[in-house]
Amino acid sequence: MLFDSFFLAGFESSTHRRRDGRRVDVIRDTRHDVLAERDYRLVKELGLRTIRDAIRWHLIETSPGYYDWSSALPMVRAAHRAGVQMIWDLFHYGWPDDLDIFSADFVTRFGRLARAFATLVKNETDAPPIFAPVNEPSFVAWAGGDAGFIYPFATGRDWEIKAQLIRAAIEAIENIWAVLPDARLLQCEPAIHIEPNAKRPNDAESAEQYRLAQFQALDMLTGNAAPELGGRREYLDILGLNFYYNNEWVNFGETLYTFHPKYRPLQDILLEFHGRYRRPMCLSETGIEGPLRPGWLAYICAEVRCAIDRGAPMEGICLYPIANHPGWDNERHCLNGLLDYPDDSGNRIICAPLARELTHQQMIFETIFEPAVSPERQCA
């Protein structure tokens, strides 16, 4: 197994700027920055021994080429003391204010940041490192370069942003490998499905082209598309797929939920990605808000088991976010995690229904991966 536990904990770590100028910083807003070691130990007690977390570039590179590690070093050391396996996101939607994402400087400086952080990790711990260079290039390209609701609030520039993020990811990978040749890499992208809209004439081709665009960033990274960017197959090490309740929809129409007849089973989506890339895979993000949390986890786990039975090399499921957090746009209390906001003493209440379902699923997957137990299982 690639990870120390099949179920992973992911701390939401977005740092983009909103239209009102406010920079989102979920790590700060959930007090995870000051409670990191307690948080790591708590999820480890719940059987989540591999953790996905992030550094915050805008706090680290306070001026070009100068790195202030005061926001990251305590978390690296906390993880080491807690004895957990870390996956470090280097880019989760945000970058320093002085930097233009469309500039060549963006790529160069991100590569240098990756090398500096890899050096810090190497000096602080002997644990085999895992890095996620750029989280969801496709989403950032759409949200910041087409829909225009996160910085840089552009429209019609999604391809430019996607290409820049792939260049930056490649630059980061090469810099990481220069310091840590054995470092593993997790590339995270949304997994989606889009159905044609019956109200739009001849929509099948348009919907399919939109659906196939989910593979574009990974194809660019591997060199199968836009080879001028320098992509190579080895840059795609571990394939992480982010899948939520609203990742399927009708083209220019409504969201498709699991009970809809046009809903595509997650296992089929996973098998398509496996057939295309043939790499170890995990669900790098999945979750839902409110009382549906246990049921959603049960659905996800059943689909992942079926995908495994059908040959998909699934290495893990990351509960993301693991802790409730303020909403990006309205600071609402998002009840989407296993853990709640901390009280004044730093204690987090555990969502009991979700914890029970997690325990149940952990027991099931333990039997699946136990070497002595290998019954034939079939999925309809």
- Tell me the CATH number at 178: 3.20.20.80
pLDDT at site 61:
98
In a domain, residue 375? The reply is no
- Region 306-329: mean pLDDT is 97
Give the pLDDT confidence of 273-317 residue by residue, as tens digits: 999 999 999 999 999 999 999 999 999 999 999 999 999 999 999
pLDDT at 25: 98
**pLDDT tens digits, one per residue of 247-264:** 999 999 999 999 999 999
How many structural domains comprise the chain?
A: 1
What pLDDT does 373 receive? 41
CA–CA distance from 9 to each of 38, 72, 73, 289, 320 (Å)? 14, 18, 20, 16, 7
Whole-prediction pTM:
0.96
Q: Is residue 231 part of a domain?
A: yes
Quote the mean pLDDT of the chain.
Answer: 96
Q: What digits encode the pLDDT tens for the residues 67-85?
A: 999 999 999 999 999 999 9
Predicted pLDDT at 371: 62
Instruction: Evaluate whether residue 377 is within a structural domain.
Output: no
pLDDT over 70, % of the chain? 97
User: What's the average model confidence in pLDDT over 112-128?
Assistant: 95
Task: Assess if residue 333 is contained within a domain.
Answer: yes
Q: What is the mean pLDDT of residues 97-101?
A: 97
CA–CA separation, 209 vs 212, rounded Å? 5
42: containing domain? 7-369
pLDDT tops 60 at residue 110: yes
Residue 164 forms part of a structural domain: yes
Task: Answer yes or no: is 141 within a domain.
Answer: yes
Residue 54 lies in a domain: yes
Q: If you count DSSP H runs as helices and E runs as strands, how many of each does the chain have, helices first?
A: 12, 14
Average pLDDT over residues 180-206: 97
What is the spatial distance between Cα 177 and Cα 166, in angstroms, rounded to a whole number?
16
DSSP 20-86: TSPBP-HHHHTTTTTSHHHHHHHHHHTT--EEEEE--HHHH-SBTTB--GGGTHHHHHHHHHHT-EE
Domain contains 2: no
Q: Is the pLDDT of residue 380 over 70?
A: no
Q: What is the pLDDT of residue 375?
A: 44
